[in-house]
Amino acid sequence: MRLLHTSDWHIGRSLHGADLLAEQEAVLSGLADVVAAERVDAVVVAGDVYDRAVPSADATAVLDRVLTRLRAAGATVVLTPGNHDSARRLNFAAGLLAVSGVHVRATVSGLGDPVLLSDAYGDVAVYGLPYLEPELARHELGLREARSHEAVLQAAMDRVRADLLLRPGTRSVVLAHAFVGGGLASDSERDICVGGVDIVPASVFDGVDYVALGHLHRPQSLSDRLRYSGSPLPYSFGEAGQDKQAWLVDLGAGGLAGVRAVPLPLPRALTVLAGTLEELLADPAHAAAEEAFVSARLTDAVRPTDPMRRLRTRFPHCVHLEWSGGGTSDGRSYQERLRGRGDLDVAGEFVSHVRGGVGATPAERDLLGRALGAAAREELSS
């Protein structure tokens, strides 16, 4: 049995306001080519199918076309909702979809109800664990005191293991959307833990042959049988240069037989550029970035006029801009820089900041002082 493990599609996500639907459809539809070339029996999607609970009509249309291509290539599809999805909406028409070979596992009541696949060695039971919000799931699971993801996932896995006891010799796969201890986060995931209390230990998933994890966008292996596939596209500039992939998982007669990475194409690279505006516009070394999504950090001493418009004349996909010039970045926070300083000093620093280091003249400081004094008197009289 050969599975393709993927997750965190986030269909409908944007990058600093730039629509990514075309890039998402290109990569996700390309999974059908992997299915055909590698003779994949099933594609498993471990949560965050959409980027929001109420996806746009265009996002749902992309998912429809992607699933159609995967089925046409010959793969069964099993998917679960993540913390970005609405489990109820994703579960719509699940019965009808199952008839066509697309299996949605989105309910607590179905935790111990696997999708059964078969090969020459017998059955493979694929269990989909939807993202379980502790405050909601604990009631459905009968756990009055549970407050953590560990507790609700432990209860979910107990149901999985109880079902497996009734299926001796059956190989098993679990899809789960969670932050498992030892995983490395990126800066594009939505936090699902507070103070570390909801990090789930890997031991929760003991007793199954392979665990297909979702939530963390960086592909990584916590063990041979416990892996994150990562997102199919980079969703923040912190992921620029990060290779994206899916996992090709082989199950033999005795369980897990091997796992290897399948690299995914990048329709449009992400690039971070730094320099003065004129340097970025003129330097031939940045030619490769002209077709990339660009985050630009300008180092000009004085903030340039209309920098985004000018950058886009060379980098039409520049979506993020920050100015680090002016000599005010000394590593301290805004609060630290203001501590112990009077209103006039703060106002004078603001003038220096917007002028790129040129401070207020004595006459201007006198005007600022009188204005601040008038404001203070008005506040006292009100």
Q: What is the DSSP string of 137-196?
A: HHHHTT-TT--SHHHHHHHHHHHHHHHHHTSTT-EEEEEEES-BTT----SSSPP--STT
Please name which of 312, 243, 242 lies closest in space to residue 280, comparing C-alpha atoms. Answer: 312
| Percentage of the residues of the chain whose pLDDT score is greater than 90 | 73
- Average pLDDT for 278-292: 96
Name the pLDDT band for 366 (thresholds 50, 70, 90). confident
Burial class (CB in 10 A: 0-12, 13-18, 19+), 369: middle
Q: What is the pLDDT of residue 194?
A: 40
In eight-state DSSP terms, residue 214 is E
Query: Which of the two residues, 146 and 107, has the higher pLDDT score?
Result: 107
Q: Are 171 and 122 in contact (CB under 8 A)?
A: yes
The answer, yes or no, to whether residue 110 has pLDDT greater than 90, is: yes
CA 376 from chain centre, in angstroms, equals 48
- Which range among 41-55, 211-225, 322-336 shows the weakest confidence by mean pLDDT? 322-336
Q: Rounded to whole angstroms, how far apart are CA atoms 284 and 287? A: 5
Is the dihedral angle over the CA atoms 176, 182, 185, 189 positive or is it negative?
positive
Give the pairing of strands 18-19 and 318-323.
unpaired
The model's pTM is 0.82
Q: Rounded to whole angstroms, how far apart are CA atoms 231 and 85? A: 15
- Average pLDDT for 132-137: 86
Give the pairing of strands 18-19 and 42-46.
unpaired
Q: What is the pLDDT of residue 190?
A: 64
Question: Helix %, strand %, coil % for the chain, to 5?
Answer: 35, 25, 40
- Which range among 30-34, 71-75, 147-151, 212-216 shows the weakest confidence by mean pLDDT? 147-151
Name the pLDDT band for 351 (thresholds 50, 70, 90). confident
The answer, yes or no, to whether residue 295 has pLDDT greater than 60, is: yes
Angle between helices 362-381 and 343-354 (to 10 degrees): 130
Q: Rounded to whole angstroms, how far apart are CA atoms 121 and 114? A: 18
Name the pLDDT band for 197 (thresholds 50, 70, 90). very low
